[in-house]
Amino acid sequence: MSDIIIRAMRPQDETDINAALRAMGWDDRPGLYTRYMAEEQAGKRLTFVAERDGVPLGYVTLIKETEHGPFAGKGLPEVADFNVFEPYRRQGIGAALMDAAESAAAAFSDIITIGVGMYCSYGAAQRMYVKRGYIPDGSGIWYKNKPLPPYESCVNDDDLVLYFSKPTARTK
């Protein structure tokens, strides 16, 4: 792990990240990472990229004040868009990225939040968050940025989310 560098996102990352996503069978996300960097410049988001020998291995962003879910309007940061590319998983890279995001959040908040999808592709992330001390907020499942009422139908897609939070190191 000592050869891994955690740094801010840069313009070239958009091309490299999209190539890594395509290699995993995902679609490109044109303009998304440029938007993340613009939001970082505007003071709304922090970006973290794990790199080894100039090659991005994964990334995570931290929204300084979440606008969605049960924590919206409370001035709390949210870990968002967290991804370690398949060839680099289970090597501690995700933990290093989460450490960076959590450390950054502790500089300005007593609590850090996260939303996680419910289908099996999110399984490793779900386990990781619980092991790191995140607990569900108790508001239930959210769908398309709204609490999902009991017995309501939905699609098990990226918009079906359970929210978690935990104290930052600032409060320990």
Give pLDDT tens digits for 61-79. Answer: 999 999 999 999 999 999 9
91-102: pLDDT as tens digits? 999 999 999 999
Which helix (H) or strand (E) element contains residue 40? helix 32-41
107-121: pLDDT as tens digits? 999 999 999 999 998
Contact 158, 165 (CB under 8 A): no
User: In this predicted structure, what is the pLDDT of residue 172?
Assistant: 56
Q: Is the dihedral of CA 165, 91, 12, 157 positive or negative?
A: negative
Where does the pLDDT of residue 30 fall: very low under 50, low under 70, confident under 90, or very high at 90 and above?
Answer: confident
CATH of range 5-171; options 3.90.1170.50, 3.40.50.170, 3.90.1150.10, 3.40.630.30: 3.40.630.30
